[in-house]
Amino acid sequence: MSIPPENSLPVLSVVIPVLNEAAVLPSLLATLKRQLACVNFVVEVIFVDGASVDNSAELIRAQGYSCVHSERGRAQQMNAGAAQASAGKIIFLHADSDLADGGLNAVVAALDTKHWGRFDVRISGDAMMFFVIAFCMNWRSRLSGIATGDQGIFVRRASFEKAGGFPNQALMEDIALSVRLRKLSSPACLKLKVCTSGRRWQQRGIWRTIFLMWRLRFTYWLGASPQKLAKRYE
């Protein structure tokens, strides 16, 4: 693997919003270290803290990564990170995500031909239903051209700006952005997996979470306020 010159400009910016994620950050930081060792271009990593009250920001900075602060809210945090990004290609990852080896290379290659895209998702955990949920999420995304944040949305910087970034709303910001980006091109649907934590399904119950998410999404498409939906999600 060739080493990029020190003065090379970033090819890819990785934006990661965090809020009280100290428990999962060691795993994420290990994943980033592994991923960065697999590329021969400059990758810029930007964490965006939404006023964590644990030591998330300290853990991030201790590993030498940039950590900026913004108003709390995933959409606001990701927009703040994108505003700091200097690369022409951006990927948004959740703090509890684990990207498959070769994922960063795949993003750069995909964005050479597409305006945006996402990965297939896998859900961590032993429950058989997690496989079924992930399968349905991936095929629904292929058919609809809509991606969720759990799938690791990536986008050309110019396309992100043309779409107006993430709308400033409390929930469904990933769906709203997908609708905007879909007008520019269909998404690159990569079969490489990004693994997301099954913690919210385990904490709330799998079936209860499935029904909740479908109800929220259905009422969102009917025009319900994302702010009101966010209160039901909490």
List the chain pLDDT tens, one digit each, 234 residues: 334 555 578 999 999 999 999 999 998 999 899 899 989 999 999 999 998 999 999 999 999 998 999 999 999 999 999 999 999 999 999 998 999 899 999 999 999 999 999 999 999 988 889 999 999 999 999 999 999 999 999 999 999 999 999 999 888 899 999 999 999 999 999 999 999 988 777 888 888 888 888 888 888 777 777 777 666 666
> What pLDDT sits at residue 1?
34
pLDDT at 195: 94
Residue 234: what pLDDT? 63
Structural domain contains residue 16: yes
Given a contact cutoff of 8 angstroms between Cβ atoms, the answer to whether 168 and 77 are in contact is: no
* C-beta separation of 36 from 43 below 8 A: yes
* Beta carbons within 8 Å of 28's beta carbon, 6+ residues apart: 16, 21, 95, 96, 97, 98
Q: Is residue 34 part of a domain?
A: yes
Q: Is residue 213 part of a domain?
A: no
> What pLDDT sits at residue 2?
36
The two counts, helices (H) then strands (E), for the chain are 10, 8
Kindly state whether residue 67 falls inside one of the protein's structural domains. yes
- Does 221 map to a domain? no
CATH number for the domain harbouring residue 119: 3.90.550.10
Q: Which domain holds residue 51?
A: 12-199
Q: Number of structural domains, the chain?
A: 1
pTM: 0.91
Asked whether residue 219 is assigned to any structural domain, the reply reads no
Residue 62 is assigned to a structural domain of this protein: yes
Residue 4 has a pLDDT of: 54
The reply to whether 232 falls in a domain is no
Q: What is the pLDDT of residue 200?
A: 78
3-state secondary structure of 154: strand
What is the reported pLDDT for 46?
A: 97
Tell me the one-letter amino acid at 227.
Q
